């Protein structure tokens, strides 16, 4: 007798059990991961790996069980939940228990190795972690010192290389068991469109902004040549990665002082202002919270202030990489970061709190809908708020007496472009590389060669010293070591300007887009919250439409925001080589 066909009622009962089980498993894993990230030891890594394994295995098991309902015509909410159950994994463990345990242990170990990574300069009695090295890369103007720091940090990752290759094989095995070609296809399936269509969408958005990046790259290269000489920086080729103020050359704002236009000093330095007022880490976070409450959002819960990690402890190793947490998927909100009193961290705090306020906005949704419309939305919200960190906003906080004259805008826009525009190709290529690795197009023996081919193609940067397959430079980036997909950051860089443009219009701003701040505007807050509350309950074009009135991601707002700067860059580059 053939098995009885499933019913809608059975599907609904199944989903209810799924949500209850996954909530319990993921809260357990979240607590273990918090402890592992804030107390790095072999024991906490092992405990977190086991909790992560249980949570992932539960989701994989339930995702496979859900295929029983694949041919059943379901109400829209049930159909979406079952789809999200399959695609929300970033790591699908194989069915074999030994392989599953091995995979989660490898990923936990690679993240731990990154968190514990240090470079010990020859002749020095102090070893430097990534926070120390990031400060050195930002502040030093001595090429040999920058080169040594770059090479020193990149020594942490070659030991990960065999583990990474094994992780790829095991993760692909788990993805195939769920019906995906490989882990890259699983990741690309999260965007309410076929995986290959999403890859093309990324390329389309990049082509919209590439002309602006090329102008910025050419301008920065010329100014760095003036500083470091023709031998260090070529007139027509890629820029050496160690000279751009950041360990990964992913953002360039730390070299602003070397490339700033004449007479563009806005007359203030936010870092100096914050330090001059003896601002502490908690006050930095209070500023970020104040932005959201000014829009009409409720204050953060008291437990946020009790349980968050704001500064690096002296007595233990922690993962300092800034992150926002929703530990119980309800209201146990936290941030984990090692705050320096700088303008950069001031913006980072606004970004991380964007995650927290988003998490709380959708916490009344069913469990499977408690996420952003797509993962790029989650990253974009805080950055959208950070675009409102204008001089006018700083005046309202009492950090500035008056906003600088609009004649200084080119300098302010250039500083922002060194952050936002320089990041776009890096945000694109991280997952371009991993998609090729997961698909087998890039085999283990070509990991490093293909990494630098993509960095040259998209970023126009080159390593400061010769690299080989003895190296494993992708592993020196946290998100690669920790199995964190990266396309979301590229999308966020696009979406934040699209969001900012729509919210500025809602707020009635008549200034140029780069001068608009929505601080204190309740209508903008209402529009924002209406989208945040949707969570992942609808396809992302619906959420985008709720905020912007548009259903397609579009980089036009970036070009509009930076239009005065792009015209200026074209003037500066006239008659000089552009591209590499």
For the stretch 382-413, pLDDT in tens is 889 999 999 999 999 999 999 888 878 899 89
In whole angstroms, what is the distance from residue 250 CA to residue 293 CA? 31
Q: What is the pLDDT of residue 1?
A: 61
pLDDT for 266 beyond 80: no
Contact in structure between 357 and 297 (CB atoms under 8 Å): yes
Q: Looking at 19, 111, 352, 566, which residue is catalytic?
A: 352
Q: Looking at 373, 379, 403, 486, which residue is catalytic?
A: 379
pLDDT, one tens digit per residue, over 132-171 is 999 999 999 999 999 999 999 999 999 999 999 999 999 9
Q: Is 386 a catalytic residue?
A: no
In whole angstroms, what is the distance from residue 528 CA to residue 53 CA? 35
Q: Looking at 154, 242, 321, 378, which residue is catalytic?
A: 321
Q: Which two tokens stand for residue 49?
A: 């790996």
Q: Is 355 a catalytic residue?
A: yes
Res. 522 pLDDT band, cuts 50 70 90: very high
Task: Give 515's contacts (C-beta < 8 A, 6+ positions apart).
Answer: 390, 392, 406, 409, 509
State mean pLDDT over 232-249. Answer: 96
Q: What is the pLDDT of residue 399?
A: 95
In the DSSP assignment, the letter for residue 189 is T
Q: Which two tokens stand for residue 333?
A: 């909100």
Q: Looking at 99, 181, 322, 453, which residue is catalytic?
A: 322
pLDDT for 22 beyond 90: yes
Helix axes 563-573, 195-228, angle to 10 degrees: 50
State mean pLDDT over 64-79. Answer: 90
Distances from the Cα of 158 to the Cαs of 1, 471, 488, in angstroms?
Answer: 57, 5, 26
pLDDT, one tens digit per residue, over 203-229 is 999 999 999 999 999 999 999 999 999
pLDDT for 15 beyond 80: yes
Domain ranges of the chain: 8-118, 198-573
pLDDT for 88 beyond 90: no
**Residue 76 C-beta-side C-alpha neighbours within 13 Å:** 4
Q: Looking at 479, 519, 524, 557, which residue is catalytic?
A: 479
In whole angstroms, what is the distance from residue 572 CA to residue 358 CA? 41
Q: What is the pLDDT of residue 467?
A: 97
pTM exceeds cut of 0.75? yes
Long-range contacts of 33-39 (CB under 8 A, 24+ apart): 34/325, 34/327, 34/334, 34/336, 36/108, 36/112, 37/115, 37/318, 37/319, 37/323, 37/336, 38/309, 38/316, 38/318, 38/319, 38/336, 39/316, 39/317, 39/318
Phi/psi class of residue 575: alpha, beta or left (left: φ > 0; alpha: ψ in -120 to 50)? left
Q: Looking at 242, 351, 378, 500, which residue is catalytic?
A: 351
Q: Looking at 256, 367, 486, 489, which residue is catalytic?
A: 489
pLDDT for 314 beyond 80: yes
In whole angstroms, what is the distance from residue 108 CA to residue 357 CA? 28
Task: Give 209's contacts (C-beta < 8 A, 6+ positions apart).
Answer: 421, 424, 494, 555, 558, 559
Q: Looking at 154, 217, 350, 355, which residue is catalytic?
A: 355
pLDDT for 51 beyond 90: yes
Q: How far apart are the first and last CA of the chain?
A: 68
Q: What is the pLDDT of residue 2?
A: 64
Q: Is 489 a catalytic residue?
A: yes
Q: Is 470 a catalytic residue?
A: no
Res. 179 pLDDT band, cuts 50 70 90: confident
Q: Is 242 a catalytic residue?
A: no
Q: Please state which CATH class domain 198-573 belongs to.
A: mainly alpha
Task: Give 59's contacts (C-beta < 8 A, 6+ positions apart).
Answer: 22, 25, 85, 88, 89
Contact in structure between 500 and 528 (CB atoms under 8 Å): no
Q: Is 154 a catalytic residue?
A: no
Contact in structure between 242 and 137 (CB atoms under 8 Å): yes
In whole angstroms, what is the distance from residue 241 CA to residue 466 CA? 12
In whole angstroms, what is the distance from residue 163 CA to residue 106 CA? 6
State mean pLDDT over 488-496. Answer: 94
Q: What is the pLDDT of residue 268?
A: 85
């Amino acid at each position: 007798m053939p098995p009885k066909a499933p019913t809608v009622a059975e599907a609904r009962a199944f989903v209810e059990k799924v949500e209850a089980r996954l909530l319990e498993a993921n809260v357990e894993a979240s607590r273990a991961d918090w402890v592992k990230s804030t107390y790095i030891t072999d024991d906490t890594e092992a405990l977190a790996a086991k909790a992560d394994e249980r949570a992932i295995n539960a989701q994989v098991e339930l995702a496979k069980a859900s295929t029983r309902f694949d041919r059943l015509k379901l109400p829209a909410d049930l159909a979406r939940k079952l789809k999200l159950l399959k695609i929300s994994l970033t790591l699908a463990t194989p069915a074999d228990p030994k392989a599953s345990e091995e995979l989660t242990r490898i990923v936990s170990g690679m993240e731990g190795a990154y968190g514990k990574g240090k470079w010990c300069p020859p002749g020095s009695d102090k070893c430097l972690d990534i926070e120390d090295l990031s400060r050195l890369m930002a502040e030093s103007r001595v090429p040999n010192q920058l080169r040594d720091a770059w090479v020193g940090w990149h020594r942490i990752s070659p030991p990960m290389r065999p583990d990474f290759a094994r992780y790829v094989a095991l993760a692909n095995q788990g993805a195939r068991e769920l019906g995906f070609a490989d882990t890259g296809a699983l990741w690309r399936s999260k965007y309410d469109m076929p995986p290959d269509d999403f890859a093309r969408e990324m390329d389309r958005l990049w082509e919209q902004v590439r002309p602006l990046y090329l102008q910025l790259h050419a301008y920065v290269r010329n100014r760095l040549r003036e500083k470091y000489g023709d031998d260090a920086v070529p007139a027509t080729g890629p820029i050496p990665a160690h000279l751009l103020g950041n360990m990964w050359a992913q953002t360039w704002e730390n070299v602003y002082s070397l490339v700033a236009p004449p007479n563009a000093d806005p007359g203030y330095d936010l870092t100096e202002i914050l330090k001059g007022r003896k601002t502490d880490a908690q006050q930095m976070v209070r500023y970020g919270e104040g932005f959201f409450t000014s829009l009409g959002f409720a204050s953060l819960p008291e437990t946020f202030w009790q349980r968050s990690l704001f500064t690096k402890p002296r007595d233990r190793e922690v993962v300092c990489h800034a992150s926002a947490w929703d530990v119980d998927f309800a209201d146990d909100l936290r941030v984990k970061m090692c705050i320096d009193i700088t303008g950069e961290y001031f913006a980072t705090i606004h970004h991380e709190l964007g995650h927290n306020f988003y998490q709380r906005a959708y916490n009344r949704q069913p469990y499977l809908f408690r996420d952003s419309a797509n993962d790029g939305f989650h990253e974009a919200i805080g950055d959208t708020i950070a675009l409102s960190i204008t001089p006018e906003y700083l005046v309202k906080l009492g950090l500035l007496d008056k906003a600088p004259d609009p004649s200084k805008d080119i300098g302010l826009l250039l500083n922002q472009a060194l952050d936002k525009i320089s990041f776009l190709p890096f945000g694109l290529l991280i997952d371009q590389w991993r998609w090729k690795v997961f698909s087998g197009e890039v085999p283990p023996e070509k990991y490093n060669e293909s990494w630098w081919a993509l960095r040259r193609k998209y970023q126009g940067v080159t390593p400061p010293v010769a690299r080989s397959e003895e190296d494993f430079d992708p592993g020196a980036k946290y998100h690669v070591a920790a199995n964190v997909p990266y396309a979301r950051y590229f999308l966020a860089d696009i979406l934040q300007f699209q969001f900012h443009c729509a919210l500025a219009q809602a707020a009635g701003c008549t200034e140029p887009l780069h001068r608009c701040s929505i601080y204190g505007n309740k209508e903008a807050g209402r529009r924002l919250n209406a989208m945040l509350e949707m969570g992942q309950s609808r396809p992302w074009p619906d959420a985008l439409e709720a905020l912007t009135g548009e259903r397609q991601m579009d980089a036009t707002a970036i070009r509009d925001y930076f239009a005065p700067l792009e015209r200026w860059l074209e003037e500066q580059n006239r008659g000089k080589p552009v591209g590499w």
